[in-house]
Chains A and B, each alone.
Chain A
Amino acid sequence: MYGKKVKLRAFFLLLIFFVLALSIFLIFKSLEENVIYFKSPTEIKNLSELSDNNKIRVGGMVKINSIKINDKEVIFIITDLKNEIIVNFQGSIPNLFEEGKGVVAEGFIKDRKYFNATKILAKHDENYMPPEVKEALKDDE
């Protein structure tokens, strides 16, 4: 149906495309450590070496009943339901920061249990619903 030249061009282009796609896939695979935006408390616990000079991000859920606010700082616990890390932070927190919701803290780790945050970001999940529906869901629980 198509000439030899056309077939050759098709093969050549597809080959270029797959070689490039594969190389980019492998690059991303080896750079995984840098592509992820935050680490979970479990990953922090399993880190082979700790450095308190590098800024890192920890993400997870704000543990229920863990937020303590005094006049100088906010202290709360980030959990991934397996491990926890205690975070202290001085500064303004985003509106959506809430117990039981997602959070990403940026800052410096002190040891595997404590984290000095310099910035707090609230993470929004993929659920969108009107308040009435949320209430109805709560009643079901």
Chain B
Amino acid sequence: MLNYLNPQNFLKIINKIQKFILILFLLVLALGLIEALVLSPEDYKQSDSVRIMYVHVPAAWISLGIFSVISFLSFGILIFKNKNFSLITKSLAPSGFVFNVIALVTGSIWGKPTWGTWWAWDARITSMLLLALFYLLFILSWRVFDDSNKAIKYSSYIAILGLINIPIIKFSVDWWTTLHQPSSVNILKDTTIHSSMLFPLAIMTAAFALFSLLIFLMKYNTELIKIKNKGLDRL
């Protein structure tokens, strides 16, 4: 599919846009943090704890998004035997995993003052923990299997299996009773976050997405160089 893209050209392009994305990320992050920590109002009920939400929610969104992309590409890997896709999924996983852990940790820090507990085994939190374990399995499968064909195969199966968990995470708060609140940002229903709080949330999401893209490009770059050094001139 992507065979017409010569990795040689890829490397040059990646090196060029990396710096550009880094600068853009720093600008957007600075704006997002000023908005989230200084300019945005406190919440009527939870006061300043609401500011944790500006890290927690984007981190959760990004980790779900990255895992979905990995899963869909994994279908492509197993069906079309596309090696390039496996380099992409391998490079995407670490930032997705880190954002997943950030979502769990910030959620816990928010839960203590708000709910009165660090942790609850409700459907949303447990399924999010399961996602972190799927990420861990995916990343570890690359280290456990020395044979790269085996690693590609097993990691792809893990990603496809984990895809079943994604709608469970998303709809857990609607299907079952949970301690976690239902989603506030909705497409089909009304959004229940005031616009003054929705704006920093959107900026922080953009900042995290840029960060993931940056880490992805760096990882992908490394993978391409590894292949180049092995003396293989094509993917």
Contact = CB atoms under 8 A, between A and B. Distances in A.
A and B are partners in one complex rather than unrelated chains: yes
Interface of A: 2, 6, 9-10, 13-14, 16-17, 20-21, 24, 28, 32, 35-40, 59, 93-97, 101, 104, 119-134
A125 B46 CA distance: 11
A25 to B, nearest CB: 8
B50 A121 contact: no
Given A32-B176, A59-B177, A130 B78 contact: no
Contacts of B182: 125-126
B44 interface: yes
A130 B43 CA distance: 5
B122 interface: yes
B193 to A, nearest CB: 4
Contact of B179 (A14, A17, A123): A123
Contacts of B43: 128-131
**Main DSSP-derived SS at the A contact region:** mixed
Interface stretch (B98-106, B109-117, B141-149, B219-227): B109-117
Contacts, number: 114
A104 B179 contact: yes
B20 interface: no
B42 A128 contact: no
Given A9-B79, A38-B177, A128-B194, 15 more contacts: A10-B79, A13-B160, A17-B160, A17-B164, A24-B164, A38-B179, A40-B177, A119-B117, A121-B120, A122-B116, A126-B182, A127-B193, A131-B44, A132-B41, A133-B44
